[in-house]
Amino acid sequence: MLELSGVPIEDTFAEAFPMTAARLVITAVNSHWAQVAAHAAVGYAASVIGCDAEAGIERELNSEETPDGRPGVSILLFAFNREALQKAVVNRVGQCILTSATSACYNGLPLVPDKNIRVGGNLRFFGDGWQFSKLLEGRRYWRVPVMDGEFLCEDWFGTVKGVAGGNFLILGDSQWAALAAAEAAVEAMRGLPGIILPFPGGIVRSGSKVGSRYKKLRASTNDAFCPTLRGVVKSSLPGEAQAVYEIVIDGLSLEVVEEAMRRGIRAACRPGVVRISAGNYGGNLGPFHIHLHKVLASA
């Protein structure tokens, strides 16, 4: 078995699947209010198992990186198709960004015919007839009057086919050791352009498997990696493993997901970690099979 810093890396693969993604650039009068709007917009968007989208903060932007010269934050949202993505983006921009003090919202991806979603054009009706638009360099922006001035939102947002569900598992000899390693992995991946870690703090304690003994559930607890079920299920845990955390990565391309996994796994290999593994479903869930050994062998 391959080892990295003394930690065994299981010869397995993470199974990922295609989703449609959009990038939103949120700006505000200062970085605090840009963060407020961004955090609100990506709330309750950890997994499409139960959410309208998977979403997260990509990175902070300085005033030189934003369309209006103000501090900003870029966020990524992922859904199974453009129709579902448009609904999620319009709802989240309308409920969380339009309502946030001093905010504006811009498209962060190239516009491609027949691959865009309409956001500002759907939200303009909140202006109750007082809204108006400007066409600048071929792109339309809607200006909606609100009580602190105007909410500016771009009309159309580009989309791309992204990759969701890249992952790896951190098996620790204690809960503390596994959590510390997961936090180190998250820190190593944060700020990498093109990826998000959609779960709380970038870490998943409740990894899932496909299916359930209850017919209404599409997914249920990954019992093979639950320490308390060792002995009553077919466990995948070595004897010394007492806690497992999963890191899930969504990205705008397969290559950036692989780079994030590479950075995260290397950072997670530290004292107290007894093995690194990954979640897959025998190749039946998605077409992207990201083999841990190959990821770590390539630069």
Task: Please give the C-alpha separations between residue 52 and each of 107, 186, 207, 286, in angstroms, as whole numbers.
Answer: 20, 24, 19, 19
Mean pLDDT of the chain: 96
CATH of 20-160, one of 3.40.50.1820, 3.30.70.520, 1.10.600.10, 3.30.70.20: 3.30.70.520
Q: Give the mean pLDDT of 275-283.
A: 90
Same fold: 2-15+162-297 with 20-160: yes
pLDDT one-digit tens code per residue, 213-228: 998 888 899 999 999 9
Q: Give the mean pLDDT of 182-194.
A: 97
Distance (Å, rounded) from C-alpha 279 to C-alpha 41? 28
Closest to 13 in 3D by CA, of 277, 238, 222, 285: 277
Instruction: Work out the angle between the directed axes of helices 254-268 and 175-189 (0-180°, nearest 10).
Output: 140
Q: Is the pLDDT of residue 182 over 70?
A: yes
Q: Give the mean pLDDT of 197-210.
A: 95
Q: Is the pLDDT of residue 272 over 80?
A: yes
Distance (Å, rounded) from C-alpha 138 to C-alpha 158? 14
Distance (Å, rounded) from C-alpha 135 to C-alpha 113? 17
Confidence of residue 101 (pLDDT cuts 50, 70, 90): very high
Q: Is the pLDDT of residue 283 over 90?
A: no
215 or 266, greater pLDDT: 266
pLDDT one-digit tens code per residue, 108-126: 999 999 999 999 999 999 9
Q: Give the mean pLDDT of 131-155.
A: 97
* Residue 29, pLDDT score: 98
Q: Give the mean pLDDT of 233-254.
A: 97
Q: Give the mean pLDDT of 267-291.
A: 92
Confidence of residue 69 (pLDDT cuts 50, 70, 90): very high
Q: Give the mean pLDDT of 9-33.
A: 97
Per-residue H/E/C for 277-295: ECCCCCCCCCCEEEEHHHH
Q: Is the pLDDT of residue 64 over 90?
A: yes
**Residue 223 amino acid letter:** D
- Domain-wise residue ranges, the chain: 2-15+162-297, 20-160
Strand partners, 118: 156
CB contact at 8 A, 260 and 252 = no
CATH code of domain 2-15+162-297: 3.30.70.520
List, in sequence order, the alpha helices (H) in 172-251: 175-189
Q: Is the pLDDT of residue 284 over 80?
A: no
How far from chain centre, in Å, is Cα 216?
Answer: 26
Closest to 162 in 3D by CA, of 17, 280, 15, 13: 17
Give me the percent of the chain exceeding a pLDDT of 90.
Answer: 92
Distance (Å, rounded) from C-alpha 159 to C-alpha 117? 7
* Residue 299, pLDDT score: 64
Burial 51-65 (b: 16+ CB within 10 A, else e): ebbbbbbbbebeeee
Q: Give the mean pLDDT of 5-25.
A: 97
